[in-house]
Amino acid sequence: MDFRLDRFISLYLVAPLQRLNSGAKPAIPILMYHSIANQDESRTPAYYRIATSLAAFAVQIEYLHQCGYQTCSVAQAIDILKTGSAIEDRRVVITFDDGYRDFYQNAFPVLSQFGYTAAMYLASSFIGDTHLQFKGRDCLTWAEIRELQKYGTPFGSHTATHPQLRDLDHKSVEKEIVSSKLVIEEKTGNAVDSFAYPYAFPQKDLQFKKILRESLCSAGYRNGVCTIIGRARSGSDPMFTELLSVNSRDDRKLFKAKLSGAYDWLAKPQAGIKTVENLTA
C-alpha cells in the first residue's frame, strides 16, 4: 500500500495517545459511501475516491458485525447522543450518496446478510423510471427504490441536480432542496426529513450556513450530514453532522481508526483550510 500521511498520523500518533485517554466523550461514526463497484481511481487522491470494491465493502461490513456494531439512522444517532440513551451500545450510521444502482446490486445484499440498514441520499434529477446516469454510473430507478424501502432502506435528499450550492443564489438553493424533497416524497410515499450536502461543505462561510439552515428548516428537514470530518457527538450540529468518508483505500487498520476516533484529528486541518478558502473567495 502507498504511503498515506493521514493514515500514518492516525495509526501511529493519534491512536496510541487516544488509548491513554479514558475520558473521551461518546461519539457515533457516520460512514459515507458512494459507489460499491470495482473501478480504477488510481489517478484520484485516496481521500477523494468514491468507489469501494465489493470485496472491500464486505470486509468492512463484516468487521462492524464482528465488533458488535448496530446500525441506526442519523436521527436516532442524534437522539442517542443528546439523551445518552443506549450509549453503551456500539452504534454506527451507514450512508450512501447520489443514488447509484450498485447499491441495489452490491451493497444491499451484503448489508442484509448482517441485518444492517443504510440511508441513501438521492440526487433526484438522476432518478427515473429507467436507469439514468450520473458521473458515468447507472442510478437507481423509482421501482428499485420502492423495493429497497420495503426492506427498511430510508431515503433522503442530496439536492435535485447535485450542484455546489454555495455558487447559487438563495432562490436556486431553495429550489434544489425543496424540489428534491417533494419528488422523493411523491415517488416513495414517505416523508423526507434528512439532507446530505453535495461536495465539500463550506463550513467557515457563516453567512451561507445561516441561509442554508433557514432554507432546510423551512422546507421541513430535521437533520443533515456534510463533509466535516469526524464522528457525531452530543455537541454536533444536527443539520450539518460530521461524516467519515470510506472507500477501497480504507484497509482494516484505517477503518478501525476511523470508527474509534483516531481519524477525527483531521477536522482541525480541514477547518483551517476552509478558513483560508473563505478569506480568499
| pLDDT computed for residue 208 by the predictor | 96
- Describe the crossing of helices 206-219 and 170-188 by its angle, rounded to 10 degrees: 30
Q: What crossing angle do the helices spanning 170-188 and 142-150 adopt, rounded to 10°?
A: 60
* Regions of the chain where pLDDT drops below 70: 1, 22-23, 85-88, 278-281
What pLDDT score does 86 carry? 60
Under 8 Å between Cβ of 18 and 262: yes
Tell me what pLDDT residue 83 has. Answer: 87
Domains of the chain, each with CATH number or no CATH:
5-13+27-280 (3.20.20.370)
Task: Check residue 271 and give its pLDDT.
Answer: 85
Instruction: Quote the pLDDT of residue 278.
Output: 67
**Amino acid symbol at 233:** R
Measured from the Cβ of residue 46, the count of other Cβ atoms closer than 10 Å reads 16
Tell me what pLDDT residue 84 has. Answer: 78
In angstroms, the CA 34 to CA 164 distance is 17
Comparing C-alpha atoms, which of 184, 180, 174 is closest to residue 212? 174
Residue type, 201: F
Query: In this predicted structure, what is the pLDDT of residue 228?
Result: 97
